[in-house]
Structure 1
Amino acid sequence: MSRSKFLCVFSLFFLFAINSFSFDFKIPFVEKANIKIDGKLNEREWENAYTVNDLTQQEPVPGGKTPYKTVVKAFCDKNNLYFAFVCYQPENTITIHTMLRDGNMRGDDYVALILDTFGDGKTGFMFQVNAAGTRRDGLISDPEYISTDWDGIWTAKSKIYKNKWIVEIKIPAVTLQFRKHHPFFNVEFYCFVAKDIITFRWVGTTLDAQPYDVKLTATMKGVDRLSQGKGISFSPYAVTKINKNYENGKHSTLQGEAGFDLRWNITPGIFAMLTVNTDFAETEVDTQQINLTRFPLFFPEKREFFLEGSNLFDFGVGLGHDFIPFYSRRIGLYEGNEVPIDYGVKVLGRQGKVSVAGLYVKTRDSYNLPGTDFFVSRLAYDITDNFKVGALLTDGDPDGVSDNTFTGVDAVWRTSNFLHKKKNFLIGGWWGDSSGDTTGDDTDGYGFKIDYPNDLIDANISYKKFGKDLNPALGFLPRPGTKQLSGGIAIQPRPKGRLGEFVRQFFFEFFGMQVRNVKGYIESWRIFTAPINLVTPAGYHFEFNYAPQYEYLTDDFEIAEGVVIPAGGYRFNRERIEINMPRSKSLQFGGRVWFGDFYNGRLNQWETYMQWSNTDGSIQLTVEAENDYGYLPEGNFIERLWQVKLIYAFNPDFVISSYTQYNYSSGEIGMNNRIRYTIEPGKDIFFVWNYNWQRFDGESLFNSRLTGNQIAVKIRWTWRK
């Protein structure tokens, strides 16, 4: 694709009009509320709160009548926002599966609210609470995506009655970012009834309304007197660790550490964070994956410091995991091991039409790597309500020796009222280049995406070019030196009449991708089809897929130990069958099986799961297994990955969890046990106990040897002023 054609794509941004939705209300203000968050709503402030008398069904039948009713109340005082949801629903129909913070609530009855605190329809916060009072929150930067690894400091409690359940929420102003004396926030309210799979919303009540579209919100006035105080948050920690290595004579080490995070609001909309001697002892372990490709796997960020404001660093459109210019796991981690961080600084927020995100981190000497400085900066500017441009700069190399810099620019035009028909539409593009200690002159990349993501028709096309010398050292780029074209369409009708009694929605999919090298030769192509893909009104999911594909191996590929596929071109067909039970069931089974040709042989992949929880969600057991059986002329192979997660919760603030993973090919067994006790939001005690075993060749699983364990006790306390 020529540069001139690429620039022509950007010119399309200016051809569309700006549209907005109008839904205004004003919440009462009290100087200092005397509220106990307990789910009872027996204080006088709730009598005078602004009240939304009911939400409207969005899915499956927009505006349809149901036996359910949801009342929402809201007000604020100087330091907090208060919300309450009253969900009229018989007690014996309420569904709960989890009490784990940020747990999977897709099969639970829950309520949620979205806050766009800058009132510009760009970014936002999501706060979600199920009927057990379990909290889930996240950062929004895209109408279809939310980062739920962020944990804000806020309070929520629920209480179940005979014919209703109530959720009471308090969100401190200091948890949010907003402009001082700004007259309004944008807000949207949700309620989900798991038994009947019904979604209720206040504003976005069409089937095309995307779940996290902060433009489809109401204007909530009365927040101009909210104060973040001095905007200072101080979070010291202390941790004690005991490490025992059984491979070197059961050698044990005792280690004590302390550090802190300091947050200061530079302006009401922009804040700075300082972290000193950063520790991640309480961070959840990675979920292991089986890799049958010749490219590296992607693992999401889980560390709290890097998650804070992570949505402001997002760059480009249509990139997915094909290219992430700033991949924060490049900092403080080396080959899966933690690299100590001496200190780090972040600056995040919005001022007017400008959003800013900056990061500086200094790591310590470790694993024969010298201490290294890392710097990342991201700026974005809103030209109109729908059109945004931005730039990204990263500097530093994890090896601590090389110089590396990446610079990039991007632009996106996005609307939820395309051609005045309340349809979603997006067009965007990006360009970037790396420099430093690198060879070659093909160091840039660029691409675009056009997307029409709607309920009946979901279609998109994207193009990405990555130079063979493009090397973003702080990024994730699994296939440099390629040109990637992808796109397709999904037609998703919702049948009515007699057929609608058996099928809620069909998903007929046809998507394709092609990857060429810089010389124009095809390296990969794949067509994914779904001739059968449906969900029933009860929530059962049935799917059959047919996926022909092609792979060209430039070098011999060792897919498993001792099994080497020769270089050359391979054309083969894969098929998949997938069945899932409704998520609202207390006992769920499901899985998928891929089968068919694979390179010059065959491969069968079985992925199954079982999940059980008791009625109040205090106990949850999840078992997942992947078993792959390959049959190739060069040899047969087996890959297995088994995972078991057990959770017991005394209440949403006191949770014990255990996560065990077994990888057959490496013979490694890992168990991560965690106790988290939240005294109050922002004040936590963690107890973490990790076990590791090794199964050696020729030995059974039950004869695995203990290779090490680690115990960590961490206290984290937050003061705000």
Structure 2
Amino acid sequence: MLLAILPIALAGGAAGSKPEGAGRGARPLYQARRAESPVAVDGRLDDAAWRQPPTFELVYEIRPGENTPAAVRTEGWIAFDDEHVYFAFRCQDPDPERIRARFTDRDSAFQDDFVGVVLDTFDDQRRAFEFFVNPLGVQMDLVQDDVNSVEDETWDAIWQSAGRITAEGYEVEAAIPFASLRFRADGERRTWGIDAVRIWPRGDRVQLALGPRERGRNCYLCQAAQLDGLEGARPGRDLELTPTLTGSRSETRDPFPSAPLAESDQGTELGLTARWGITPDLKLLGTYHPDFSQVEADAAQLAVNNQFAIFYPEKRPFFLEGADSFDTTIDAVYTRDVADPDWGLKLTGKQGAGVLGFFLAEDAV
């Protein structure tokens, strides 16, 4: 039996609707609008929420140009209701036939045209949720750790998206449940950090952004704008239970072609995985006899006389949850060492200006 105790991870001006507070050294402030009628996420910007003037426009090219005027127009809207925050974009293109868009796996469309938002829901300029959509509605979502300058693609939120190519370019819209996000509860400060990004891959991979970027500054989220107006938004009751029942049966026979199979062993095993958002800042995850039978298998790797062991990426849901809390520059935590856990417990979140993570598991191997 191997008992694995892993330690705490150490903390480490647009057009459209004009931002408030714009000035030298100020972060632009945009206002989210409450959707007065239901928003149908179908890729068509014909809902009442999108008939208002745009919340913002992406008027800066930040790569390869450095804060130069954008060559194409991109309009964006932010709206919300009691359950979701919505975003929509209208992306114009002088030659729509050159738009790159594929129906592909989730998190696999980064070579396409795409657009989306980055939400720093605590506005602490440390971590943010990224939601991107290609012109056909394919989703890409990540967690950005601005302290360690890493992005975690293994995080998958539950959200809706749709997109379509038009004669002028393409349009996308998305609905993100508040339950998929972490943010301060009702009655507390409700200003989020926000950035909007459009990738326009033509001769160069052009990146358009909501505001200018100083490349010499060693931070990204500190240069983001702010989003206000989300009154009444609540994170929701973050409680998820996943029970499992696993059955097994094995049979053997003598090493002769005509020998009959003889029953040797059979059994069942109950399992449970629970996730509880104690507060918007802290999340507790526990598992007992987890079932990983549906997890994608590892790709084969060949190595001969290597100095270091082969590295396999983590794909098991229990270990992926909150994995960004354990990201360090030296990969201090490698959860694949826990091969077959009987049970596990994980606490992740933030405390003040720091990020914390506690992980305890008992390995059956």
Seen in structure 2, the aligned counterparts of structure 1 residues 242 and 144 have a Cα distance that, compared at 3 Å, is farther
Q: Please, which of 132, 135, 142 is the counterpart of residue 139 of structure 2?
A: 135
Cα distance in 1 for partners of 2:247, 2:69 equals 56
> Any conservation in 1 of the 2:57–2:210 contact (CA below 8 Å)?
no
CA offsets 1:124-167 (integer angstroms, 9 cap, x no match): 11112112211121222246421101111111111111222111
Q: Which has the higher contact order (CA 8 A, sep 6+)?
A: 2
> Any conservation in 1 of the 2:141–2:155 contact (CA below 8 Å)?
yes
Q: CA deviation at 1:228?
A: 1.9
Q: Which residue of 2 aligns with 1:99?
A: 104
Q: CA deviation at 1:204?
A: 4.5
Q: Which residue of 2 aligns with 1:456?
A: none
Q: Please, which of 162, 168, 182 is the counterpart of residue 163 of structure 1?
A: 168
Q: CA deviation at 1:242?
A: 8.6
Q: Find out whether 1:38 has 2:45 as its counterpart.
A: no
CA offsets 1:571-628 (integer angstroms, 9 cap, x no match): xxxxxxxxxxxxxxxxxxxxxxxxxxxxxxxxxxxxxxxxxxxxxxxxxxxxxxxxxx
Which stretch of structure 1 is more off in the superposition, 54-63 or 234-243? Answer: 234-243
Q: CA deviation at 1:274?
A: 2.5
> Any conservation in 2 of the 1:264–1:272 contact (CA below 8 Å)?
yes
> Which has the higher Rg, Structure 1 or Structure 2?
1
Q: Please, which of 309, 325, 329 is the counterpart of residue 312 of structure 1?
A: 325
Q: Find out whether 1:343 has 2:343 as its counterpart.
A: yes
Q: Which residue of 1 aligns with 2:74?
A: 70
Q: For structure 2, list consecutive stretches of 5 or more residues without a partner in the other structure.
A: 1-23
Report matched runs for 1:298-337 at 5 Å.
Answer: 298-315=311-328, 317=329, 319=330, 324-331=331-338, 333=339
Cα distance in 1 for partners of 2:266, 2:144 equals 41
Which stretch of structure 1 is more off in the superposition, 126-135 or 261-270? Answer: 261-270
Seen in structure 2, the aligned counterparts of structure 1 residues 42 and 263 have a Cα distance that, compared at 3 Å, is same
> Any conservation in 2 of the 1:57–1:205 contact (CA below 8 Å)?
no
Q: Which residue of 2 aligns with 1:195?
A: 202
CA RMSD in angstroms, aligned pairs only: 3.2
Q: Which residue of 2 aligns with 1:357?
A: 357
Q: Which residue of 1 aligns with 2:6?
A: none
Q: CA deviation at 1:68?
A: 1.8
Cα distance in 1 for partners of 2:70, 2:251 equals 58
Q: Which residue of 2 aligns with 1:484?
A: none
Q: Which residue identity does 1:287 align to in structure 2?
A: A
> Any conservation in 1 of the 2:213–2:223 contact (CA below 8 Å)?
no
Q: Find out whether 1:23 has 2:28 as its counterpart.
A: yes
- Normalized per residue, the structure richer in strand is 1
Seen in structure 2, the aligned counterparts of structure 1 residues 246 and 56 have a Cα distance that, compared at 3 Å, is farther
Q: Find out whether 1:126 has 2:122 as its counterpart.
A: no
Q: Which residue of 1 aligns with 2:116?
A: 112
Q: CA deviation at 1:97?
A: 4.0
Q: CA deviation at 1:44?
A: 1.2
Cα distance in 2 for partners of 1:345, 1:258 equals 17
CA offsets 1:646-695 (integer angstroms, 9 cap, x no match): xxxxxxxxxxxxxxxxxxxxxxxxxxxxxxxxxxxxxxxxxxxxxxxxxx
Seen in structure 2, the aligned counterparts of structure 1 residues 326 and 49 have a Cα distance that, compared at 3 Å, is farther
> Any conservation in 2 of the 1:135–1:156 contact (CA below 8 Å)?
yes
Q: Which residue of 1 aligns with 2:191?
A: 184
Q: CA deviation at 1:223?
A: 2.5
Q: Percent identity?
A: 24
> Any conservation in 2 of the 1:28–1:50 contact (CA below 8 Å)?
no
Seen in structure 2, the aligned counterparts of structure 1 residues 147 and 244 have a Cα distance that, compared at 3 Å, is farther
Report matched runs for 1:554-569 at 5 Å.
Answer: none
Seen in structure 2, the aligned counterparts of structure 1 residues 194 and 245 have a Cα distance that, compared at 3 Å, is farther
SS at match of 1:203: coil
Seen in structure 2, the aligned counterparts of structure 1 residues 39 and 255 have a Cα distance that, compared at 3 Å, is farther
Q: Which residue identity does 1:288 align to in structure 2?
A: A
Q: Which residue of 2 aligns with 1:548?
A: none
Cα distance in 1 for partners of 2:308, 2:229 equals 52
Q: Which residue identity does 1:203 align to in structure 2?
A: G
Which stretch of structure 1 is more off in the superposition, 237-246 or 53-62? Answer: 237-246
Q: CA deviation at 1:268?
A: 2.3
Q: Which residue identity does 1:356 align to in structure 2?
A: L
Q: Which residue identity does 1:216 align to in structure 2?
A: Q
Q: CA deviation at 1:99?
A: 1.5
> Any conservation in 1 of the 2:58–2:208 contact (CA below 8 Å)?
no
Aligned length: 331
Q: CA deviation at 1:207?
A: 5.1
Q: CA deviation at 1:107?
A: 2.0
SS at match of 1:311: helix
Q: Which residue of 1 aligns with 2:18?
A: none
> Any conservation in 1 of the 2:58–2:211 contact (CA below 8 Å)?
no
SS at match of 2:318: helix
Q: Which residue identity does 1:135 align to in structure 2?
A: Q
- TM value normalised by structure 2: 0.79
Q: Which residue of 1 aligns with 2:15?
A: none
Q: CA deviation at 1:75?
A: 1.5
Q: Which residue of 1 aligns with 2:13?
A: none
> Any conservation in 1 of the 2:27–2:223 contact (CA below 8 Å)?
no
